[in-house]
Amino acid sequence: MPIVMPLDQILQKRLSWATGGKSRSLQSFCRQDVEDADGALLRAAQGSPRQLIRLGNDLIKAWVKSGRAKLDPDHFKAAGLL
């Protein structure tokens, strides 16, 4: 029987791993005008771990491409999260 982990825990574990344990939330990478970054990603994933990872990758690609220091609403729009 496969182990099922809630999406919010998957997101927290991936962020913790990617940051060497420094962060477990997308919000820490966002400008102040971004509200509920984690929730936006989790809602857009619609319960699918595969979608969570794909959308998270799309968000990070949009961020890196922009060259900006923090995630902002435009990044979330570019990734299809808003």
Q: What is the pLDDT of residues 16-26, one digit of tens each?
A: 999 999 999 99
Tell me which of 49 and 5 has the higher pLDDT.
Answer: 49
Residue 46, by phi and psi: left (phi above 0), alpha (psi -120 to 50) or beta?
A: left
pLDDT reported for residue 5: 86
Domain boundaries, position 45:
33-82
pLDDT reported for residue 8: 96
pLDDT reported for residue 1: 63
In a domain, 82, yes or no: yes
Question: How far separated are the first and last CA of the chain, in Å rounded?
Answer: 35
In a domain, 19, yes or no: no
How many structural domains is the chain composed of?
1
In a domain, 47, yes or no: yes
How far apart, in whole angstroms, are the C-alpha atoms of residue 55 and residue 44?
8
Q: What angle, 0 to 180 degrees and rounded to 10, lies between the N-to-C axes of helices 7-18 and 49-66?
A: 40
pTM score of the predicted model: 0.90
